Amino acid sequence: MKIFDTHAHYDDEAFDKDRDELLTGLFSGDIGAVVNVGASLEGCIESVRLAEKYDNIYAAIGVHPDDYERLERGENPRNSVIDDSNIYGGSFMDWLKKEALTNNKVVAIGEIGLDYYYDEPGRELQKKWFARQLELAREVSKPVIIHSRDACADTIDILKSGHASEVGGIIHCYSYSKETVKTFYDMNFYFGIGGVLTFKNAKKLIEAADVIPLERIVLETDCPYLAPVPNRGKRNDSSNIQYVIEKLADIKGVTKEQIAEVTYQNACRVYGLHL
């Protein structure tokens, strides 16, 4: 069976020592495709580089709430070919737009959204840059990958006011209630399910996964983070999706092969890929 990891961070320094060896091994096994997701400014650049190096890797480019203050200050990525804005003609947002329009390995804008777990960045700043990147996604007709933590109501408000249903996308690492599923479903979103599903305290997510139609679920690792049981706490990679598949197959009452096949098709659909 072939597996699609819809959300990974192989640009992370946790993979610096063995990145090429690891990825080559994964792609010779069950992993059919990976979307490497930008979060920091630098992560966007590296995601594009990885996608250009590996046939099986695609890139999502967008700025995570942790880096919104850098967007506000007009910074460019460190140690990058685009340090000099004259090279590409404008701000980092201009670069995002150009890559999304011209690079066929860029399949989504993300991860973008809101994170209210910490007090900083301030909520108004977060809402501003979330809305701006959502607008960018509509301009370039790309789906969005949504990071939303402790910010359900504001996330929904911005998605609705920003007409996110026109592009759709993925609610990454879905963590809200089963009752909220329909709201995101009706806005044309898929639901990213990963290692958290295997945790002992995953009752809320298990209940949500039970009501989400399989045709709207995609698999993800968020590696190197959120490794599933039995490898919780260790560096995560795409091979660990097998444990998420086992748990989801049990919840849905179908075979592991069905989970892998349907979620692979779902990922291709949301990212506009024909694999």
Q: Is the dihedral of CA 49, 53, 55, 56 positive or negative?
A: negative
> How far apart are alpha carbons 144 and 274 in whole angstroms?
18
Residue pLDDT, tens place only, 242-267: 999 999 999 999 999 999 999 999 99
Rounded Cα gap, residues 134 and 127, in angstroms? 10
Instruction: Please say if the pLDDT value at position 183 is more than 50.
Output: yes
Express as a percent the part of the chain with pLDDT over 70: 96
Q: Which residue has the higher pLDDT, 81 or 217?
A: 217
Burial of 23 (0-12, 13-18, 19+ CB in 10 A): buried
Q: Are 62 and 38 in contact (CB under 8 A)?
A: yes
Please name the residue that has the structure tokens 């990212």. Answer: 271
Name which residue leads in pLDDT, 275 or 163.
163
Domains of the chain: 3-271 (3.20.20.140)
Q: How far apart are CA 231 and CA 221, in angstroms?
A: 12
d(CA 187, CA 146): 13
User: How deeply is 168 buried, as exposed, middle or buried, from its count of CB atoms within 10 A (0-12, 13-18, 19+)?
Assistant: middle
Contact (CB, 8 A) for 125 and 138: no
Instruction: Please say whether the beta carbons of 191 and 221 come within 8 A.
Output: no
Mind listing the pLDDT tens digit for each residue in 207-216?
Answer: 999 999 999 9
Percent of the chain exceeding pLDDT 90 equals: 93
**149 neighbors 115 (Cβ within 8 angstroms):** yes
For residue range 111-145, list pLDDT tens digits in order: 999 999 999 999 999 999 999 999 999 999 999 99
- Residue 82 reports pLDDT greater than 70: no
Using 50, 70 and 90 to split pLDDT, how confident is the model at 275? confident
- Residues 59-81 pLDDT 10s: 999 999 999 999 999 888 876 55
pTM: 0.96
